[in-house]
Structure 1
Amino acid sequence: MSHAPALPLRLSATRPLAGRVAVPGDKSISHRSLMLSALAVGTSRVEGLLEGEDVLATAAAMRAMGATIERGDDGVWTIHGVGVGGLLQPEAALDMGNSGTSTRLLMGLVSSHAITTSFVGDASLSKRPMGRVTGPLSEMGAEFTTSPGGRLPLMVRGACPAVPIEYRLPVASAQVKSAILLAGLNTPGITRVVEPVPTRDHSERMLAGFGADLTVETQEDGARVISLRGEAELKPQNIVVPGDPSSAGFPVVAGLIVPGSDIVVENVGLNPTRDGLYRMLRMMGADIAYENERIVGGEPVADLHVRASTLNGITTPLDVVPSMVDEFPVLFVACALAKGRSVLRGLDELRVKESDRVTVMAEGLRAIGATVEEVEDGLIIDGTGGALLAGGATVATHLDHRIAMSFAVASLACAQPVTVDDRAPIATSFPQFIRLMETLGAAELDAEALA
């Protein structure tokens, strides 16, 4: 397989950032809206869908299994569903690109259908372990043939009827929870997931919104028990996707660390299982005001008014990790510029993302002048107290979109330019990132020479 040559990225900030911007639609909600719409009987409409490569991989997979999915000239997506149990055998392997969410959730979806499906992905995705999903799905009756280490490429032979299970998550993971619940849609009886630590709850909200018979109970020890009655009949919906809080984190942190900045990021989803980054930044002293708070499509939303701030180091509470697991790379950047020491632990999950985000961020931050100690489950960072980092280095993305954007943001607070080795991964989740940062006042250095 041939790959396009890497296209480096260098951003700088010669003046304070200013202006109003909107980030793309929430990636988690976009994935689920396509999947559940494709399983509903009738026609659903989705506004604000994230049109990054990851979500487009989900759309292509659902088309391959029988759903009709179209994008209108107005940007509204229309999905004609096949009904629960109606998925068709795809004619070829489903190419998931870089999307771990697509892969794990779709593995759950097909596990209770009488079809055999192969999954392939890019080099980064093919390194990610799938065992935490194949384990419980195998208990439900699905059969898996995987590459060594339980990785892609892999093949799923669905079970129909599948067997309902009660599964207690050994590690907090919204993807594992969602895969089991999606498998439960076409499984007779009650499928039950117990999560000791709450994770993002978009699947529960959307399943209920589509008419699934789903209940959520909280036990005395704080564990959540999600029960789904199978052989569901989903009803089509009109969905408005709020702005992705993970994507919003990049301009928000940029606004905090570039002196004199005053920006507004509009329409950001603030689901309480996803807003950990903003809670942590405010605890660090960040000036982030929630304006125009409202409910959109069942999800809390607000405009974030961000002003440059003096940040203080922080020790991250373990119970906040699931609500911001994808946002830690950009939080590391904020901590590198804060006053004092930040202790960020309990981050084992970051080691099995698109890259080992703990090690990759530690290496990159050291290269641009930050003081970082890597420990088994996280990082200890001694911040500059607001002084510029040295910069002047090239950092490797390791095909990871969040690594690329985090160091693009860090470069705005460096004395010398920082080169991100490849901008291509950014397209998986935030194709408009560079243009948005330029709208706020960042400038791309040597754009013509790098093109």
Structure 2
Amino acid sequence: MRVSRPARVRATIHVPPDKSVSHRALIFNAVATGRATIERILDSDDVRSTAQCLAALGVPIEWPEGSQVAHVTGQGLHGLFEAEDVLDCGNSGTTMRLLLGLLAGHPILSVLTGDSSLRSRPMGRVIAPLRAMGASLAARRGDTLAPVVVKGGSLRGIAYHSPVASAQVKSAVLLAGLYAEGETAITEPSRSRDHTERLLTAMGAPLAIDGLTVRVRPAERLSAVSVRVPGDISSAAPWLVLGVCHPDAEIVLEGVNVNPTRTGILDILRAMGADLELVEERTSGGEPVADIVVRSSQLRATSVSGELVPRAIDELPLVALAACFAEGTTVVRDASELRVKESDRVKAVVDALGRLGAEIREREDGFEVDGPVRLRGARVHAHGDHRIGMLGAIAGCLAEGETEVLDDAVGVSYRTFWDDLRTATSSEAVSG
């Protein structure tokens, strides 16, 4: 795709449904009692991978291609069947890690794999606590990489202190805890997104939250819950950064999930002086929702670290882009988790923005960016990472000349991204 800077940006965008909520609505309802309707489910490659794996485990799912409505007939807590073939999780770490937690409670044999990117991402962080609970798991490279073989059943509750703040690790342990004898507790170094806690509580799971610790006891049943999925703030983030960095922009983002465990990007941009406001605040599917209005802004540098990082982990590449237009040096630290995403996002961000002329330096746990600078169009390779693909596209809309984005993979999370970009910038700004 080829992108150039438009003279002005004006748009109202209804961003795609939340990917994290979409995954969980499918997985949790699969082992609930009853039938659930999931409205505005994200129709993306990742969420389709979850649906296909659940179907292979015997869960009836009605989800026509191109539809944003799915129906799940729950099979009860112990109703999954052994799949006849390997479960292909595609590019989705959420699919693999959450299913490992769920399957740890079932006395069936399952083999989970994925594409080359997913097979390079760390699974030991999930395997270790599930093994401690009594599940049998084996994986490549010293039980750290997929494919992963799991045979579950006969679990016991544990008190686990996770070395990383990860909603996927937390969710896997909590799902296994629904099947374990006694109480299961997981404590994180800082709070990760809480979509699992919200939805499991709504379904009747015996779950309690105490600071950074979440506790769950074995469940007798979960009640199916229909969900209308709110907009994904990770998919809103490219437009937020485009809006604040472009010199003549106003963008309205409708129906965005503003769950406080996910709004780190809003806090970071506000600290940088961004002109943004939340309007029409409301609740949808148990999640806080608002429309976000964002306008051209004069930005200043900021520092991102600590508990702010897990609340903005997927949006940090775009923070680096915003920093190119901010006065001073922006520092992102404590973000080594970026190195084990779909790509090494520290290296990918430094490479992509460096090609465009950014003054950016790699840190072991993040990056530093000096601003402001004038970006110049260049060729950017996203390495099949959808977040880097969107970063390259938005950077191209802010750079002088033409930017070419290769292997963008944006369909993993945002199938209509390029169409929305054409709408926001005029069709002349996007080609390919």
Q: What range is the shorter-chain TM-score in?
A: over 0.9
Alpha-carbon separation, structure 2, partners of 1:281 and 1:445: 25
Deviations 1:142-176 (A, max 9, x none): 12221225211221111x22111110111111111
Partner Cα separation in structure 1 for residue 407 and residue 50 of structure 2: 24
The one of 333, 356, 378 equivalent to 2:321 is 333
Say if 2:4 and 2:430, in contact at 8 Å, map to a contact too.
no
Q: Aligned match of 2:398 in 413, 420, 433?
A: 413
Alignment TM-score, normalising by the size of structure 1: 0.93
Q: Distance in 2 between matches of 1:342 and 1:232?
A: 50
1:377 corresponds to: 365
Q: Which residue of 1 aligns with 2:208?
A: 215
Structure 2 residue 81 is matched with structure 1 residue 81 = no
Aligned to 2:387: 402
1:154 correspondence with 2:160: no
Task: Map 1:217-296; keep pairs closer than 5 Å.
Answer: 217-218=210-211, 224-296=212-284
Residue type matched to 1:178 in 2?
Answer: S
Structure 2: runs of 5+ lacking an equivalent: none
Task: Report how far residue 122 of structure 1 moved.
Answer: 0.7
How large is the Cα RMSD of the aligned pairs? Answer: 1.4
Deviations 1:290-346 (A, max 9, x none): 010111111111001011111111111312001011110111111112111101111
Whether the aligned pair in 2 keeps the contact of 1:186 and 1:232 (CA below 8 Å) is no
CA-CA distance at 1:440 after TM superposition: 1.1
Deviation at 1:38, TM superposition (A): 0.5
Aligned equivalents of 1:346, 1:205: Cα separation in 2:
27
Give the letter for the 1:435 counterpart.
D
For 2:415, give the aligned amino acid: P
The 3 A distance-change label for structure 1 pair 148 and 205 is same
What aligned pairs does 1:338-353 form with structure 2 within 5 A after superposition? 338-353=326-341
Q: Distance in 2 between matches of 1:446 and 1:305?
A: 23
Task: Give the 3 Å change call, closer, same or farther, for CA 389–195 of structure 1 in structure 2.
Answer: same
In structure 2, the CA distance between the partners of 1:209 and 1:444, relative to structure 1 (3 Å rule), is: farther
Distance 2:428 2:24 in 1: 34
Which residue of 1 is the match for residue 374 of structure 2?
A: 388
Among residues 80, 90, 96, which one is paired with 2:83 in the alignment?
90
Distance 2:192 2:94 in 1: 14
Measured after TM superposition, the shift of residue 445 of structure 1 is 5.7
Whether the 8 Å CA contact 1:208–1:214 is kept in 2: the answer is yes
The question of whether the paired residues in 2 share the 8 Å contact of 1:173 and 1:199 is answered with yes
- Identity level (%): 42
Deviation for aligned residue 1:74: 6.7
**Residue 166 of structure 2 aligns with which residue?**
173
Paired residue for 2:348? 360
Alpha carbons of structure 1 residues 168 and 446: separation in structure 2 relative to 1, 3 Å: closer
Amino acid at match of 2:30: A
Q: d(CA) in 1 for partners of 2:8 and 2:204?
A: 48
Q: Deviations over 1:1-33 (max 9, x none)?
A: xxxxxxxx1222322111211111101100000
Count of residue correspondences:
430
Which residue of 58, 70, 84 maps to 1:66?
Answer: 58
Q: In structure 2, what is the Cα distance between the partners aligned to 1:312 and 1:173?
A: 30
CA displacement, residues 324-379 of structure 1 (integer Å, 9 cap, x when unaligned): 11110111111112111101111111011111101110111111100011111110
**Structure 2: distance between partners of 1:212 and 1:444:** 51
> 2:19, 2:47 within 8 Å by CA — same for their partners in 1?
yes
Which runs of 5 or more residues in structure 1 are unaligned?
A: 1-8, 219-223
TM-score normalised according to structure 2 size: 0.97
- Give the equivalent residue in structure 2 for 1:6: none
Who is 1:188 aligned against?
181
Distance 1:379 1:443 in 2: 33
Quick one: which amino acid aligns to residue 420 of structure 2? L
* 1:309 counterpart residue number: 297
Q: Distance in 2 between matches of 1:78 and 1:312?
A: 47
- Any idea what SS the aligned residue of 1:389 has? coil
Give the one of 119, 135, 138 matched to 1:145.
138
